[in-house]
Structure 1
Amino acid sequence: MAKQEVLGMTTVYVRQDSEGKILEILGAPQPGMPDVTPHDDQEPLIAKFLRDPLGLEDAFPSLKKWQLWLAALELEPPVFKADVLSLVNGMADMSVKDKETVRIMIEDAQEYSRNDPRIDLLAVAMGIPPNQMDDLWKWAAQIEP
């Protein structure tokens, strides 16, 4: 995407629907598209769209560490963090480095992103199919302290 820089500002051209939802961001005005307007790519809504064009951040907000593990306790049977760590440690097809990476992610991350591929690895270790993990994730995001 070619962008035009003006005085430190990067200009992008945005096409929105009648309600203001961003449909498309272009690097230059397009012939035959009078409904695009110039914007700074650092405007919060523009930057968010560029970072997450599919809206996955909204569909799957980040979870705090405690939200994820409290949700795991609601499964039947409950899933305990210590058991997941033990399962990961016992995975023969993972290198020692990969196991340590997952352990650090489990124990030291303050928030978890559903888009992180290691979450799917955790789901497998917990015996949770991807669609159930999606549902659990959305439910866990609702847990309040």
Structure 2
Amino acid sequence: MSYLFYIAFLEQSSEDSSYNTKRDLLACVGFFLVFGMTQTPDGVFVRPHPTLWRLALCFSVLYEIMLIYILFQTVDDARQLLQNIDPKLGVPLPDKDYGGSCRIYDWEHPEDPFHYFKDKMGFFVLSHFFDWWLKTLIVRDYW
């Protein structure tokens, strides 16, 4: 609350509307998080502290509000908003043909016969494999 008092009465006002909007949104988010930490009821989790879980609940509510806001924007406006968060967005990605050839070994390229396999193998294939492996451990230990 003292931060809001400082912003409202003591901080020098700025003519930059972008800075004012960011500062005001940050103040609103901070107020909501502090209010939620003190006023929302306790959940089922008690360790390490119920306040931490109330804060997590408030973060998830803010995230849902942000998703709802983006849902009602046009595609171009939503992309522009996301580019403000990460400037690397908005660049077209290279298009890959994942279903073109299912061969693993190519006899016609003796210098690199596994080039089809290397081209298709990516981060998501490895993450799915690790996820399946971890789930088998969980199911095996459960039964």
**TM-score (norm: length of structure 1):** 0.23
Choose between structure 1 and 2 for higher RCO, CA contacts under 8 A separated by at least 6 residues.
Answer: 1
**TM-score (norm: length of structure 2):** 0.24
Q: Which has the larger radius of gyration?
A: 2
Structure with a larger share of its residues in strand: 1
